[in-house]
Structure 1
Amino acid sequence: MRRTGTTRRGALTATGAIAMGAALAGCGSDADDGDGGLKGSGHTEARTAADRSSAERVETSLRKKAAGVSASLLGQYEGVLAAHPATAAGLIPLRDAVRAHVKALAPAKGASLDFVRTRPVGGPEEAVKALATAERSAAASHTAALLEAPPELARLLASVAAAASAHAYLLTGQAKETKA
């Protein structure tokens, strides 16, 4: 006996068809782009140049902030490694990843890695727990910046936020294994 009504396959097909129709509807002609039909007018070019400049300023600002968050995290890693050398085996790979994040997020190519080494409080276990908390905070900061970021930077921020979350998970496990 054949089942009647809406099936999962039918619902997915209908959803796909609606999405395809919406995508194709957005692919119309550029006849009315808001400049009164004057293609290439000076006003439109000036407006797009101003928009581009504004977008570049926003991206630079977001990159500076995100790189600062990661640089602060890098300073915390350096501080824990200096104070508790026994934690080096687990922390060095994570610290190197954070250093790569700082380089990737830096607003200009070849920007320097400015970070301040911070002194951890407590023993190795507390220091590693503090790093896990700092990684969670960095992940939250990078995730919040996604709302304002242009697409390319948003992809980078999402990747760095995911890595920070993974680092927090690994550090939480490492803190349990670390003996005071």
Structure 2
Amino acid sequence: MRRTGTTRRGAFTATGAIAMGAVLAGCGDGSGPREGSAGTDAATADAQALAARTERTLRASSARTSRELLARYEHVVRAYPATVARLSPLRDAVRAHAEALAPDGKESLVFSRTRATDAAAAVKELAVAERRTADAHTATLLTASPELARLLASIAAAGAAHAYLLNELAKETSS
């Protein structure tokens, strides 16, 4: 009986061929612009300026998203004082995320009203907001620089964990 499917030897051969192709594709004949030429220096400066503007824009947008989430936390804590003890650690983490994204943090919080009629529903709304914020940070990863992408990935992972914890807290919370 003949074996079908991918064998270990075939997988290693394919991986080696792909790696060799990537190495060879990266090699050039040296006919491109030489280092130190004026055209290359100007293009590099333009590319760096564009990258810096893009990163500032991405950071500002992500910080705004985190500040909106922080404002939701503040509103729930003020509306339902019984939730303060359990929400404070999560709220403090969201505040730290916003500060990490925009250290100057000159924008003020814009408070939003909750449609929740009790503490459990308000906490569930926070869980949805955390998930939405984590998804927004994850979507931003595609266009971010490596350093910013690592920060956003960490914040998104924390947001996903917060969403889980908030869903569990909503089950335990009574009005």
Q: What TM-score range do you get, normalising by the shorter chain?
A: 0.7 to 0.9
Q: Are 1:64 and 1:105, in contact at CA under 8 Å, matched by a contact in 2?
A: yes
Letter in 1 for 2:105: A
Call closer, same or farther: CA 1:7–1:140 in 2, change over 3 Å: closer
Aligned residue runs from structure 1 range 78-89, under 5 A: 78-89=74-85
- In structure 1, the residue matched to 2:105 is 111
Aligned residue runs from structure 1 range 16-165, under 5 A: 16-28=15-27, 31-33=30-32, 35=33, 38-106=34-102, 109-112=103-106, 114-121=108-115, 122-165=117-160
Q: Equivalent pairs: percent with the same residue?
A: 46
Q: CA deviation at 1:102?
A: 0.4
Task: Between 93-102 and 62-71, report the one with greater CA deviation.
Answer: 93-102
Task: Between 17-26 and 86-95, report the one with greater CA deviation.
Answer: 17-26
Task: Between 92-101 and 11-20, report the one with greater CA deviation.
Answer: 11-20
**Deviation digits for residues 122-164 of structure 1 (CA, Å, limit 9, x no counterpart):** 2101110110111111112112212211221112112211211
- In structure 2, the residue matched to 1:170 is 165
User: How far apart, CA to CA, are the structure 1 residues paired with 2:7 and 2:86?
Assistant: 46
In structure 2, the gaps of 5 or more residues are none
Normalising by structure 1, report the TM-score: 0.84
The alignment of Structure 1 onto Structure 2 pairs a total of residues equal to: 174
The RMSD of aligned alpha carbons is 2.3
**SS in structure 1 of the partner of residue 114 of structure 2:** coil
Letter in 2 for 1:91: L
User: How far apart, CA to CA, are the structure 1 residues paired with 2:51 and 2:21?
Assistant: 27
Structure number having the greater helix percentage: 2
Task: Between 48-57 and 165-174, report the one with greater CA deviation.
Answer: 165-174
